[in-house]
Amino acid sequence: MTYSTILYQVDDRVARVTLNRPHKMNALSLELCAEFEDALGVADRDPNVRVVVVTGAEGRAFAAGFDLNDDNQKGFAERTLDDWRKREDLDFKFNYCPFNCSKPVIAMINGYCLGGALEFATMFDIRYCSDDAQFAVTETRFAIGVLTLGLPWIIGQRCRELIYTGDTFDAQEAYRLGLVSRIFPKDQLEDEVMKIAKRMSRVAMPTLKWSKRALNSTLLAAGFDSALRQGAQACLLMNNSESEFRRFHEILRSEGVKAAMEWQESIFGPFESETSRGFRRSKSVKS
């Protein structure tokens, strides 16, 4: 398959999808999201594919959030409730697609996994990461809601501090919390994860599919879908509310990302510690 923003290949029962915008730290553009959904659908329908592995190109980031350039076409402050709803519906559908895929989907997280990318990763079956991986619920620091609130279903109520502060946390903390299943040295991540995926792909396809369906059913029976959709409604209200962080989006619109990030840093910077300090992102990404 040929795409503009992702790479898709199949090798020995394992489909590999690479988020391929390394110059933008693999930021999740609208085009990338649409292409990913298409590729995952292809893998789901392919009888020769049993497992899907998703990663980011060139190792610096799995993805550093949704692409700011998509949103800067129409400033946050100028969005109507209907504008927000339409965009959130697109993002919610994108985030949900790994959960809805009938086959196991693995996130191979190599580097930064921030904001919307972390939301996305929580919808995968399994997450493995490199020892240099960094995570953050960066939405908080932009007064934006967490659209796909998967964290409480993975790490429980320990997610509250992460969501309320927007602090960055590293691979070891992600493992301690249970967000990732294993950590591998950066130079071994790909080999080790692909070995796991190949072992998994030796399991009979009906067993993999029905196991995933049964496991998903336990979440759905506990209210997973209802909770996520209620969370999305709360996100819609947050995103459309008035707050001092409207100023961030005004600066973003008029002066650019660097000035907006400096303004944000002036608010949080005095209270940071070495372990909480947020990632200063490039001009291409947002939460």
40: in domain: yes
277: in domain: no
**How high is the pLDDT of residue 283?**
38
In our burial notation (b when 16+ CB lie closer than 10 A, e otherwise), range 77-106 reads eebeeeebbebbeebbebbbbbbebebbbb
Q: Is-contact 136 169, C-beta < 8 A?
A: yes
pTM above 0.75, yes or no: yes
43: in domain: yes
285: in domain: no
pLDDT above 70 for 286: no
279: in domain: no
- The most confident of 34-43, 76-85, 244-253, by mean pLDDT: 34-43
- The most confident of 141-155, 200-214, 223-237, by mean pLDDT: 200-214
Average the pLDDT over each of 32-41, 56-65, 176-185, 254-263 and give the range with the smallest value.
254-263
Alpha-carbon gap, residue 117 to 278, rounded angstroms: 15
Of 36, 251, 285, 35, nearest to 139 by C-alpha is 285
**How high is the pLDDT of residue 76?**
59
Look up the CATH number of the domain holding residue 122. Answer: 3.90.226.10
pLDDT (tens digit per residue) in 177-214: 999 999 999 999 999 999 999 999 999 999 999 999 99
Active-site residue list:
119, 139
**How high is the pLDDT of residue 1?**
72
- The most confident of 82-96, 191-205, 240-254, by mean pLDDT: 191-205
pLDDT above 70 for 18: yes
* Element (DSSP H or E) covering residue 179: none
Alpha-carbon gap, residue 55 to 193, rounded angstroms: 11
Helices (H) then strands (E): counts for the chain? 12, 10
**How high is the pLDDT of residue 75?**
56
pLDDT above 80 for 280: no
Number of domains in the chain: 1
1: in domain: no
111: in domain: yes
Could you tell me which residue, 113 or 142, shows the higher pLDDT? 113
Q: Which domain holds residue 34?
A: 6-271
278: in domain: no
**How high is the pLDDT of residue 28?**
96
